[in-house]
Amino acid sequence: MNVSDSEVVLSVLQQAGYSLCSKITEASLILVNTCSIRDNAEQKIWSRIDYFKSLKKRRKGLTVGILGCMAERLKERLLEQSVVDIVAGPDSYRDLPHLLNELPGGEKQINTILSLEETYADISPVRMDKNGVSAFISIMRGCNNFCSYCVVPYVRGRERSRNPQSILNEAKELFNNGYKEVTLLGQNVNSFNWRATDQQSSFKEDISFSKLLEMVAQISPQLRVRFSTSHPKDMDDSVLTTMVKYSNICRHIHLPVQSGSDSVLKRMNRKYTRKEYLLRLEKIKKMLPDCTISTDIIAGFCGESEQDHLDTLSVMREAGYYTSFMFQYSQRPDTTAAQQLADDVPPRVKNSRLNEIIALQNELSHISNKADLGNEVEVLVEGFSKRSKAELSGRTSQNKVCIFPAGEHKVGDYVKVKVTSCSSATLKGEVIS
Ligand code: 5AD
Ligand code: SF4
């Protein structure tokens, strides 16, 4: 989401006459797009701010701005840092040229007003990822779920869906410019809902997420479509039915479970039980047998017992995740958990539980990859492999990284590959001629 937002910022600034430079030491303006989701994400920014102090001593006239969720959360506290000139929250990037113009007057500038509308629909993001194959499209902003541990609803505001016509235009333009894959992004994409009656709309009917997904998939069978993130409580059958209809909608669903224990899920305010989650997975596997599932897991949430932790390990085994994003619980100020629940799992225990979760995930990833040995997969090439220019790297529809000898193939090609070996992280294969 932050990569996507940075592309909006670049677009806004380019229109105001700025251009991107390749070295930070050459920049006259440095903007940092920040994340508040865990404390260590914020700690990284504090050390960056220290580094900017040393840069500013060497470069007269250097302007430093802090953008994103940390700007929204800490507001004036960031401006108190002598090195910070501008603080701009996630909904105020259109205002950046104005804030920059006001600076020479001597006053530091701040805008952290959250919007009730999708604010960037008509901005064409300038892609920063240079592979020219795969791009993010932001389809909604904010979150209404208020999971008890999570700071996102406070720093990104309420859920707002973007005008579907502008999403379709962006996807078509990307495809016409040679892109082969788009990822529809939102904190909770399944609750995308554009109401025809609410706003000026070229659509006569309301547009749900599954309808939007279908319209994007119809742009071309040569355009792969992904989406992230789905909330298990909102992931309904209509999305699965649409996926079955269009083979260019990738066979991968990111479905964060967070915990395998019902009592922890309840304290997290996730609004589903372990059983309901597993039934969802059963339905996915029935309708889309070749679909991979990935997840997010939090270790050591408030009140998590050893048994709760074992329940998380067992849900991972039952789900057979091909990959996971795994975190230690980090208390975030102002959230319900911070206000009402004790952060009572000792750091040492959080750490050892996280390590057990990671070790199990490595095992599961390896099992999932081994199941592909001998299979034929279609890889969309994204670049050279890290090790060698003689090998290309790309992803399968299931979102697995696959490496194979380059031959005549190039970035942006769809290549049929037979999987011949694997590690827990990567598939390796040979081109099927
Ligand atoms: N501590 C640890 N992990 C968190 N996440 C969100 N908030 C926290 C927190 N306070 C994780 C969740 C979410 C992912 C984006 O970040 O797993 O799905
Ligand atoms: Fe945070 Fe929950 Fe919203 Fe995800 S769904 S952004 S975890 S509040």
pLDDT tens sequence across 10-28: 999 999 999 999 899 899 9
Residue ranges per structural domain of the chain = 2-111, 134-370, 376-431
**Which string of DSSP letters, residue by residue, matches 156-200?**
H-S-EEPPHHHHHHHHHHHHHTT--EEEEE-TTGGG-EE-TTTS-
Whether ligand 2 lies within 6 angstroms of the CB of 147 is answered as yes
d(CA 90, CA 74): 13
pLDDT mean over 69-77: 95
Q: Which ligand is nearest to the CA of 341?
A: 1
Q: For position 201, what pLDDT does the model report?
A: 66
Nearest CA to ligand 1 atom 2: 329
The tokens 């993001």 sit on which residue? Answer: 125
Tell me the whole-structure pTM to 2 decimals: 0.95
pLDDT, tens digit, 9 for 90 and up, residues 194-219: 988 765 667 888 999 999 999 999 99
pLDDT, tens digit, 9 for 90 and up, residues 298-329: 999 999 999 999 999 999 999 999 999 999 99
Supply the CATH classification number for the domain 2-111.
3.40.50
Q: How many angstroms separate the alpha carbon of residue 145 from the centre of ligand 2?
A: 6
Whether ligand 2 lies within 6 angstroms of the CB of 150 is answered as yes
Q: How many angstroms separate the alpha carbon of residue 149 from the centre of ligand 2?
A: 9
Whether ligand 2 lies within 6 angstroms of the CB of 146 is answered as yes
Q: What share of the chain is helix, strand, coil (3-state, %, to 5)?
A: 35, 20, 40
Whether ligand 2 lies within 6 angstroms of the CB of 187 is answered as yes
Whether ligand 1 lies within 6 angstroms of the CB of 229 is answered as no
Atom of ligand 1 nearest to the CA of 337: 10
**134-370: in CATH 3.80.30.20:** yes
pLDDT mean over 59-81: 94
Cα–Cα distance list, 31 to 12, 52, 115, 323 (Å): 13, 11, 21, 32
Atom of ligand 1 nearest to the CA of 149: 10
First to last CA, the chain: 38
Which CATH architecture describes the domain 376-431?
Beta Barrel (2.40)
